[in-house]
Amino acid sequence: MRPQRKIGLVLLIMTLILAACGGGQSSNQTGSGSSTSEEKVKLTVWHNFAGDDLRAQTVRSFIDQFAAEHPEVTLDAQAIPTDGYRQRLSTVAAANEMPDVFLVYAGSQSAEFHQANLIQPITEILDAHPEWRDSFLDGAFDPYEFEEGQFYSAPIAMSATSMLFYNKALFEQHNVEVPTTWDELMTAINTFNDNGVTPIALGNKAPWVAQSTIIGAIADRVTGTDWFVNAVAQQGAKFTDPEFIEALGYFKQLVDNNAFQEGANSIDNTQAEQYFIQGNAAMMISGAWTLTNLAASATEEQMKDIEVTVVPAIPEGRGEANTITGGAGGGMALSSRTEGKAKELALELIYTMSGPEAQKAIAESNSMVMYDTEIDESKVTPLYYKAFNLVKSSGITPVYDAYLSAEAAEVINNGLQEIMMGGSVEEVAQRLQDAQARSATP
Amino acid sequence: MPTAMRSKGFIAIALLPALLIFLTFVIVPVFWSAYYGFFSWKGFGDATFIGLDNYTEMLKDPVFWRALRNNLILVVSSIIGQVPVALILAILLSKNSFFTRFIRSAVFMPMVLSTVVVGLIWGYIYHPQFGIANYVLELLGLESWTRAWLSDPKVNMLAISIPINWANIGPYMVIFIAALQNISPEIHDAAKIDGSAGWNKLKSITLPMIWGTVVVTIILCISGSLKAFDHVMIMTGGGPARSTELLATYMYNSTFAVYRYGFGSAVSTMIMVISALLIGLNYIITRRKPS
């Protein structure tokens, strides 16, 4: 009996020792961390510029620049791939362990972080550089001004989500005018269909695509921006109003006239871009990301036929023509737990990553910014240069999912897929109204 | 007797660390998530206790029922599509020749592939414009059968179940081969002497001898199909218009797309309850059969 019990005891003790060892190690680590913090400030920065594309490299180079200029900072920069970025942030948010500086998206994500007191204003660094602050385009701070005069981030990207890309060669070959009004668009769609060319390429497997690129532009032309803002606030306007039903009706008209290729709901946006660039489709309504993707994958031969313009006007509608849905994109935010010397340096890091030089460099890496800057034509692709100037000369109207609650955005995303599958416009409008009403009046 | 007692004590102590790990990382989170199911919680910030509201909302949500129906379609299709096919393959391929080894590896191969790869491959097979599925149908003169397999709500669940079955047959086949090789040769000899062969022998000797294995594979099939997530997430993401939503993707989409951790936790608790019910049911049905 005795020896066995001894073995058991020994095992138990060994387990405890092992556990103690584990604890000891981790406390050692934190100990050494805090002892060096007297001379060195530790900063963590999280962002999603993890790829090999030009923009990601540009942003990372500014982080490196900051690290080089500030030897007193131990900078822990984590580039997290975009697909998992949102979840990673949500996870650390749940544990209230945000990094000091991190990229937030404009819209519901940053609003939720603000509500949960996870971020603090960066107004002081903006006020310290007034010429920088004033060079942002109109509306750049809209998604980040949670209290009057308090800005929680400065955008380093702009989303322009509804440009009409078209294949000039196909239009010439089939003798079709580039559409500037809805009727002309319908004529173009019918002509292309008669000739066996897909009129509009769409990859709506991830269901935000049709919402982000098409419905925002159509609906704004029909209802006007004011109506949408009221409907989002659920004040004096509802998504069941006749004007919104009409807007969805225009989308249904596209579906009924076979504007999109078959199975658009089961292929993704990149596949649709490939389909379009290979000359299978005459048009594609898409956002600035398509510029980046095409620049990376298409040949020069393919690119020379591609032009870009705005979505056609709807003359009967109340909204303005010549607009593009878009707005401020993501920006760097500051954790509410970062204080003192670390906060000062964190603000400095935000300035390095989103200051005038960074904005110009990002714009010259073929991606849109919400900042008034001149770009060097020779440094960017011709299509991007056209789009950059198109956006500068067009009005900006809201993207639906940037303003709707997360739940309502999900409803309209799936609702558009449903309409594409023959669903009823009124039912989708009703469900969107219900979802938005739930979140507007908690 | 005292020796047995002592070794029991020793076994208990030796099992303790593993048990602790299992408790902390499996059992506790299960109850934890059940607990969160009673809250309205965004994943951060304050949680509000709302009682059974998440559950009543779920039961009223048509998407939940569609997800459950889709899961049951998967369960049925994998029990029909995986277990018998794996058994037949195992019987045909249990001999050890170069040819059978080659086929065995071929059947097992998709299991080794990452599910993401499987999802992408089949996404391309089903591609509405360039997909090989439609191309083959056209070659055979069946133009009227071609369709957008993953976006047509009438067929998309079926279309999804095919790659899931394809990818999962391998391990069941291996399990069955192992079980078949465990039947002692004397029994086969006795069967031969009694004049039993072919279907008769399969029904009266082989199947009863490996019945325990069959039950286990069916349980694995049920729990595997209820947990199914990755293939669907890659191929359709639960769409279009939530027509291919499974319980797991329903949970994922409710949790991460609309920030409702409380609701998502309620859904995952529900998944567990449903799995337990189905496996219990399976246990009752299969227990009575062999006798």
pLDDT tens-place string over residues A70-115 = 999 999 999 998 878 988 898 898 888 899 999 998 877 888 899 8
- A20 domain-assigned: no
- Name residue B61's beta-bridge partners: none
d(CA B262, CA B45): 12
Q: What is the mean pLDDT of chain B?
A: 88
Instruction: Give the gap in angstroms from C-alpha B148 to the nearest C-alpha of chain A.
Output: 5
A138 within domain boundaries: yes
C-alpha angle A272-A276-A281 in degrees, rounded to nearest 5:
110
- DSSP-derived letter for residue A285 is E
**What is the pLDDT, as a whole number, of residue A31?**
38
Tell me what pLDDT residue A25 has.
40
**For residue B147, which residues of chain A lie inside 8 Å, CB to CB?**
263
Assess whether A176 and A294 both reside in one domain: yes
Asked, for residue A279, whether it belongs to a domain, the answer is: yes
Q: Does B171 contact chain A (CB < 8 Å)?
A: no
**Residue A215 belongs to a domain:** yes
Q: What is the CATH number of the domain that holds A431?
A: 3.40.190.10
Q: Which residues 354-393 in chain A show a CB within 8 A of chain B?
A: none
For B54-65, how does the pLDDT look when each residue is reduced to its tens digit (9 = 90+)?
999 999 999 999
* Mean pLDDT of all residues in A341-364: 94
**Same domain, yes or no, for A357 and A415?**
no
Q: How confident is the model at residue B184 (pLDDT cuts 50, 70, 90)?
A: confident
Give the residue from chain A lying closest to B128, CA to CA: A263
List the beta bridge partners of residue A332.
A103, A154
C-alpha distance from A297 to closest chain B C-alpha (Å): 19
Within-domain flag for A307: yes
Residues A403 and A388 in one domain: no
Nearest-CA neighbor of A39 among A8, A2, A70, A82?
A70
Same domain, A260 and A338: no
Confidence label for B20 from pLDDT (cuts 50, 70 and 90): very high
Q: Residues A107, A200: one domain?
A: no
For chain B, what percent of residues have pLDDT higher than 70? 97
- B2 pLDDT exceeds 70? no
Asked, for residue A187, whether it belongs to a domain, the answer is yes
Token couple for A194? 């008669």
Q: What is d(CA A219, CA A57) in angstroms, rounded to the nearest whole number? A: 36
Contacts of A10 (CB under 8 A, 6+ apart): none
Q: CB distance from B109 to chain A under 8 Å?
A: no
pLDDT in tens, A244-287: 999 999 999 999 999 999 999 988 899 999 999 999 999 999 99
CATH topology of domain B59-286: MetI-like fold (1.10.3720)
Nearest Cα residue in chain A from B239: A205
Residue A243, pLDDT > 50, answer yes
Stretch A113-139: mean pLDDT, rounded? Answer: 92
Distances, alpha carbon B221 to alpha carbons B105, B224, B227, in Å: 21, 5, 10
pLDDT of residue A29: 39
Q: Which amino acid is at A15?
A: T
Both A52 and A121 in one domain: the answer is yes
Would A414 be classed as within a structural domain? yes
Query: Region A351-373: what's the mean pLDDT?
Result: 91
For residue B240, list chain A residues with Cβ-Cβ distance below 8 A.
Answer: 204-205, 207, 265-266, 414, 417-418, 420-421
* Residue A441: pLDDT band with limits 50, 70, 90: low
- Tell me the residue range of the domain where A316 lies: 163-325+398-440
Which residues 98-127 in chain A show a CB within 8 A of chain B? 108, 112-113, 115-116, 118
**Can you tell me the ipTM of this complex?**
0.79
Tell me the average pLDDT across A175-182.
95
Which of B67, B7, B40 has the alpha carbon at shortest distance from B225?
A: B67
Please report which confidence band the pLDDT of residue B163 belongs to, taking 50, 70 and 90 as the band edges: very high
A35 close contact with B: CB closer than 8 A: no
B162 to chain A, closest Cα gap in Å: 16
**Per mean pLDDT, which range of A15-19, A20-24, B110-114 is the poorest?**
A20-24
- Looking at residue A53, its pLDDT comes to 81
Please give, rounded to a whole number of angstroms, the shortest distance from the CA of A15 to a CA of chain B. Answer: 8
Number of domains in chain A: 2
Give the dihedral sign, CA A399/A404/A408/A410: positive
pLDDT of residue B37: 92
Q: Are residues A413 and A309 in the same domain?
A: yes
Res A240: pLDDT: 95
Under an 8 A CB cutoff, do B10 and A86 touch? no
A75, B149, B228 from B75: Cα distances, Å: 50, 20, 10
CA angle at residue B245 from A274 to B26, to 5 degrees?
115
Q: Are A403 and A390 contained in the same domain?
A: no
What distances in angstroms separate CA A280 from CA A197, A200, A416, B84, one per listed residue?
A: 6, 9, 23, 44
More reliable by pLDDT, A29 or B284: B284
Q: Would residue A355 be called left, alpha or beta, if left means φ above 0 and alpha means ψ between -120 and 50 degrees?
A: beta
A58, A135: one domain: yes
Q: Would you say A441 and A232 are in contact if contact means Cβ atoms under 8 Å apart?
A: no
What pLDDT was estimated at residue A10? Answer: 58
Residue B247 has pLDDT above 70, yes or no: yes
Residue B1: pLDDT over 70:
no
Q: Are residues A346 and A311 in the same domain?
A: no
Does the pLDDT at position A19 exceed 60? no
Residue A51 lies in a domain: yes
Mean pLDDT of B218-226: 88
Identify whether residues A152 and A281 lie together within a single domain: no
Q: What percent of chain A is modeled with pLDDT above 90?
A: 62
Given pLDDT bands bounded at 50, 70 and 90, which one contains residue A9?
Answer: low
* A31/B200: higher pLDDT: B200
